[in-house]
Structures are given as C-alpha cells and as structure tokens.
Amino acid sequence: MSALIPNAAAEGSIAISGTAAPKAPAALLLEVDQLAVEFRTRSGTVRALEDVSLALAEGETVGLVGESGSGKSVLSFAAMGIQDPAARITAGSLRFAGQDLLAHKGAAMKALRGREMAMIFQNPRVALNPIRAVGRQIEDVLARHTDLHAAARRRRAIECLAEVRIPDPERRYAAYPFELSGGMCQRVMIAIALACKPRLLIADEPTTGLDVTTQAAIMRLISELSAERRMATLLITHDLGLAREYCDRIAVMHAGHIVEVGPTETLFAAPRHPYTERLIAATPVGAASLDDLAAIEGNLPDLRRTDLPSCRFAERCARRGRECDAPLGLVAVGAQHSVACHRPLGTESAEAQHVAFA
Amino acid sequence: MSRLLEIIDLKRWFPVRKDGETRQLHAVDGINFHLEPGETVGLVGESGCGKSTLVRLLTRTLDLTDGQVRFRNNDLGLIRAREMALHPQRKDVQMVFQDPTDSLNPRYTARQTIAESVRLLCGMRGAAAAARVEEAADWVGLPHALLDRYPHQLSGGQKARVGIARAIVGRPALLVLDEPTAALDVSVQTVILQLLDRLKRELDMSFLFVSHDLNVVRLLCDRVLVMYLGQIVESGPTEAVFRAPAHPYTRALIASLPGGLAHGQASASDLLVGGDPQSPIDPDPNRCRLLGRCPRGLAPCAEKGPQLIDIGHDRHVACHYPAVVQHVRQ
C-alpha cells in the first residue's frame, strides 16, 4: 500500500493523489514516444506497433480509431503495462506525468495502475469477477490503494456506485454481475476504474455491444467525470461517430502506425491521410444512402511480413506513387495536425503548381 | 399485393419462478405487423426488448404462446418448432446470424457449410448440389478457392459471406438478418450491406433486418418497427420516422446516436431519464411500459396502457402524448 510513496519520492515529480491540483493547464500526462511493440509467435514476429507517438494533456479526451487489428488495444495495454507475455517493447518510451513507465517494474507499476491510471475494458461481463459482489470488487481497488478501514471502504464503494448514477446503490452493492444489465455492469466497471480518482482513464471500446441509449448515458457520464476532475481520457473505438462526438482530438491508426492525428473537426472537415478519408467515407453516420458509402479496398497487411513497405497503407491506397516507398514519419500540416503520408490529400493545387514550374 | 408475412397478435411468455410462485415473463406481448414481398423492414430496440424472441418465433425455432404467424396465408404458427425442421416451407424463411464466427461450424469448410443447406433445404445431391454451392458462392462474391477453407482461415467479411450464402442457397422469400454486420469493421460492413442490398433485388427476397445500429437501419430499410419491452411502440417509413420520430422512445434512440443525424427533429431533451427498463415479468397492462424512463410521462400513462394507433401516412405510434408530427409530402 505504501509502495507508491517511497517510489514517488524517488521519482521526485509525481503528485501522490489524483486530487492534487494540476500544475499547468496543459501539462502532458501521457507521452508515448516512438514506441515499437513486437509479438514473437511460432509463425514469425508480428510488428504490432512501430514508431507510435501520442501525447495526452490533462483534461483532454483523445480518440484512437482504426480497424480491428490496427494496434489500438496493444497500445493501451502497453501504456498500462499489462501487455501479453509474448509482447516485447523493442523501442521508444512511455512516460506518465514525467516518469518513465518502462523503467517501472512489478510493484511500482501496480501502485500506479488503478490509482493514477485506470482502464475500462471492452466487455464488462468478462472483465468483472462473476462470483464476487460488485461492491466488493470496488472495495478490492480501495483496499489496494488506500488505507481506508473496512467500514469506510464500504461507504466509499457505495459512493462510487452512486457517482456512476447507479440507482439504489446500497442494494446494488451486494449484486453479482449476472444480476445486472449490460449497461449497469459497464457502470460498475467505470466505478472500479474511477474509484481512486485516476488522472488518466483509458477506455477501450467502453460502449461496444451496448444499446445506443445506454451508450449515450455512459459516454455522457465519462465526459462529465473527466471534465469535473480534469482527467485525461483515451477513448479507443472503431466508431468514428462516437469519437467525433466526444473527443477533442483523434488519432487514426492503421496496421500499427498512427497515420494521422488532429483536432476532431479539422480531421472530419479536411482529412489529409487517404486512410482517414476512406474510413470517414465508410462510416454510415449521416450518409445519405447506401450507394454513398465506400468500402476500403483490401485488408490490413500481415504484420508478420518481413517486407512490409514503409507506408503500411500503400498496398490499399489509390494515391500510391513512386515516392511512397521512401521512409515515412508524422509531419505537421497544421495546428496540432500531423499526417504520415507522402501524398496527403488536399495538396492537389500544390502538385499542379509543381507541374507548372517544371 | 398479397402479404408475404403477417404477424397477428403474437405472444410468447416464458414461465419464471420468483419468490416461490410461477409468473410469466412477457418477452413478446401482442405484436402485429406485416411484410410485403420485396420489402425491407428494420426491427430496432434495445437488448432484452424481445427482438430475438420475435425472430425465433417467426423463423419457427420457438413455439408461440398465442397469435398467428401467417406466411403466404398459411399459419406457420400452427406447426410446432420441432416439426418445422423438416417442413417444406422451411427453406422459404432463412436467417443470417449475428456473429459469423460463432454461427459457423468450425469443423466444416465453407463448402461443407453451404452444402449442408443445399442437401437439407433443396434436397439436392451429387454434382447438382456441388454446382449449387458454387453458384451460391458466386452470388455472395466468395472466390471458389476459399470454399475449402475452415472458418478460422477466413476473414470476418469472408465468414459473413459464407453465412449469407448458406442462408440464400435455397432461394428464400424472406431472409431474417440478426445484426449481420455488428461483428464487422466499418470498412467491411459497407461491402456486406451493399451485397445484401444487391442480393435482395437480384434474388427477389424480402428482409427483416434486426439491428440496434440505427444508422444501418436507416440506410437499408423501407420501413422500421421500434420495439420496447415486447411491444411495438412505433412503425412507419424509415425516412419519416427518422426525420420526425413520434414516440418518446424512438426520439430517445435517435437523439442518442453519436455524430448526429442530419435533419432529425430529435434533440438532447428527448434522451431517456432514469435507469433501467421496467421488469418484463407480469407487467401491468394498464401502465405504459416506458414510464419511469420517459421524459414526457404524465399521470394518465400510469392508468392506461397506450395502444398502437394510426397517425396517417402509414405511421403508427403507441403513446398518449406523441410528438406532433408534421408530414412532409415527398
């Protein structure tokens, strides 16, 4: 329980409690820098993440979107230090409030997890313990990270249930997951994640499989709570509509690369990466008819391949040119807006000028 | 036009034991609707509202408590679910399941999966059956080279195609689709939706499209039925219902859609209040089932259960205080 304190003192910079006032308005909380993650499997090495950089400031909500298999969950698991044993971080750094997470081992990481950074998992029915009352599951987190005594823990657990707007929290404290609806289970998961008032919340598809009415309630709850507490939120989703409604910024992932990151409205109004543009065109939000929707050609490349091109979208891309084989990185194209593409959209006029001059 | 499917006052109650006494869970509680040939009807509603029970009743894999399932004027409801398996009309109503991974036999290749339907539904054998399997693969755009693969060797979109091929190989008149794209990525979803739309026209089918993704329903369906706790609360042409939803529950559904729908009249003030729905176990017939979550609920709602009434332009709503709908001529 006290593991955090000597460790924090050693690091010298971390605020001990999540309730501490933020120092600067836009202090960076999570910094992912050129992270690479590999999985060693019998059929080859899967290069699941490569050169991934992303930063989250306090109070900010960032969406991480992309097809399944693009590495969204790998990134969030790596940030939480809960990646699969087969995963290896081969390059880059992960920093949380200035501390190097990759230097943290075992106990130090456990002290952060659940207290400073918390995660909402995709499927609440799987993530909750089926044979433990939900109130007790909240208490487990409190027992690990606080020195509250039993009665106070119980009071706080009931308070947590009330905070996520669960009606009749005292009765629901003793309920088992199977006695609650999907939406209620998801609220319990959020209550567990928020019990210690974390500064960073990673929500991995928090509303997949829930009804739209429940989805709206859960998402409003997360955004209210993050506004109240200046909590940074990383929202992982494949629903662009959802990301558009709730995120300040959106990062688009494709096959283990971040291909574009920018403010939500800029990204939707003028996507620069062809993949972002295709993804928006495939999303049925507000589309007039079925014929207006355009599918994305091809599949994600097999990440075990040793001959992966520098742009992993190149083989699916209609704009592919000779320059696309050159090494690639995110390049700033506007305020907070970067794209990893040699032939980004919206540069036709520039290209035409080029031709005119030549 | 003669109706393809007509559901009359359909009920399915499940007995449950609670506090030592047997009570009835009203999963489907008096549903009426119909489907014309060539029509695509969307069925939306939250999980637990009885969508799946309704689907199982009309694909005749579950026996009904009361009411009629009339298909081409035959009351299929009279046939017991066990007998339906061998009934000649079974091939006319087929189903595409939600999760293409769970609904395919992992020990069957795609060819065997489709061939099983050909054998059981079409009664074909040998070379004719083999040709039929390949024809079905062509319909759904599944390369023949993939037919000898097992489900784990196929991508999500390819598995979805196998599931569709299996269902349409007997040329059904009605295809029931239970969230066919819920497990798919948005990039693949588009392809499958466009495939379904094309097949519907080419093979002259009707669709009952069950989904809780309203954006998809809006794209694909001619009419939409909104279900809440075992009953239909609103029905009508998709465009009209989405533009001007009349029932508070429909308004809440549409207002909940992230990203916002263009030109809809539903807004944040239509979102549901309160938490969970009422219990479907022995519900009070003289009380609106949405009461407690409804942003509009008033005293009369607790005294009389609303009936589905005609509000013109092929629209029906079950509410004492529906939103005023201005019909726009198309």
pLDDT interval class at B327 (50, 70, 90): low
Please tell me which of the candidates A167, A183, A241 has its beta carbon nearest to residue B259.
A241
Instruction: Please answer yes or no on whether A293 and B193 come within 8 Å at the CB atom.
Output: yes
Task: State the Cα–Cα distance between residues B246 and B268, nearest whole angstrom.
Answer: 15
Residue range A279-328, pLDDT digits in tens: 888 887 766 678 888 878 778 888 888 888 889 998 888 888 888 888 88
pLDDT at residue B259 in the model = 65
> CB distance A212–B193 less than 8 Å?
no
Q: Are B203 and B34 in contact (CB under 8 A)?
A: no
> DSSP label at A113?
B
Q: Is A248 on the interface with B (CB under 8 A)?
A: no
Q: What is the pLDDT of residue A13?
A: 39
Mutation pick from A178, A211, A242 vs chain B, by most beta carbons of B within 10 Å, is A211
Q: What pTM did the predictor assign?
A: 0.81
Size of interface A-B (CB pairs under 8 A): 109
The chain-wide mean pLDDT, for chain B, equals 88
Q: How far, in Å, are A266, B101, B107, B148, B157 from residue B153 at the CA level? A: 39, 11, 12, 10, 12
- Name residues whose C-beta falls within 8 Å of residue A192's C-beta, 6 or more positions apart in sequence: A118, A137, A138, A141, A160
pLDDT tens-digit profile, chain A (358 residues): 333 344 433 333 333 343 444 444 568 999 999 999 999 988 889 999 999 999 999 999 999 998 888 899 899 999 998 888 889 999 999 999 988 988 887 788 888 888 899 999 888 888 999 999 999 999 999 999 999 999 999 999 999 998 887 878 898 999 999 888 777 888 899 899 989 889 999 999 888 777 788 788 888 888 888 888 889 999 999 888 889 989 999 999 999 999 999 999 999 989 999 999 988 888 877 666 788 888 787 788 888 888 888 899 988 888 888 888 888 889 999 889 999 999 998 855 444 444 444 3
Nearest to A296 among B187, B255, B275 (CB): B187
Confidence (pLDDT) at A347: 59
Q: Which domains does chain A have, with CATH numbers?
A: 27-116+200-220+229-357 (3.40.50.300), 123-197 (no CATH)
Which position has the higher pLDDT, B131 or A335?
A: B131
- Amino acid letter, B64: L
Of B188, B193, B214, the CB nearest to A212: B214
Confidence band, pLDDT 50/70/90 cuts, at residue B131: very high
Chain A CB contacts of B271 below 8 Å:
213, 216-217
Alpha-helical (H) ranges within chain A are: 4-11, 72-80, 106-112, 124-127, 134-145, 150-163, 169-172, 182-194, 212-229, 240-246, 264-269, 274-282, 348-357
> Does B186 sit within 8 Å of A238, measured CB to CB?
yes
Task: Kindly report, residue by residue over B52-67, the tens digit of the pLDDT.
Answer: 889 999 888 889 999 9
Mean pLDDT of B301-316: 90
Report the distance separating Cα A295 and Cα B31, nearest Å: 37
pLDDT of residue B269 exceeding 90:
no
- Interface residue ranges in chain B relative to chain A, Cβ cutoff 8 Å: 46-48, 155-156, 185-191, 193-194, 197, 212-216, 218-220, 252-253, 255-262, 271-272, 274-276
Exposure string of A42-69, with b = 16+ CB inside 10 Å and e = fewer, is eeeebbbbbbbbbbbbbbbbbbbbbbbb
Single out the residue of B216, B213, B214, B170 nearest to residue B197, CA to CA: B216
Nearest CA of chain B to the CA of A22: how many Å?
Answer: 31
Q: Distance, in angstroms, between B274 CA and closest chain A CA?
A: 8
Residue A197 burial by CB count (10 A; 0-12/13-18/19+): exposed, middle or buried?
A: middle
- Is the complex ipTM higher than 0.90? no
Question: Does residue A279 belong to the interface with chain B, where contact is any CB pair within 8 Å?
Answer: yes
Cβ atoms of A252 and A279 closer than 8 Å = yes
Task: Identify all chain B residues contacting A238, using CB atoms and an 8 Å cutoff.
Answer: 185-186
Q: Where are the alpha helices (DSSP H) in B29-90?
A: 51-58, 81-84
Better pLDDT: A20 or B229? B229
**Of B38-47, B247-256, B263-272, the least confident:** B263-272
Interface contact flag, A213 B187, Cβ < 8 Å: no
Inter-chain touch B256–A242, beta carbons under 8 Å: no
The SS3 call for residue B208 is strand
| B139-169 tens-digit pLDDT | 999 999 999 999 999 988 899 999 999 999 9
User: CB-CB: which of A215, A283, A296 is closest to B256?
Assistant: A215
Q: Does A67 touch chain B (CB under 8 A)?
A: yes
Say whether residue A298 is in contact with chain B using an 8 A CB cutoff.
Answer: no
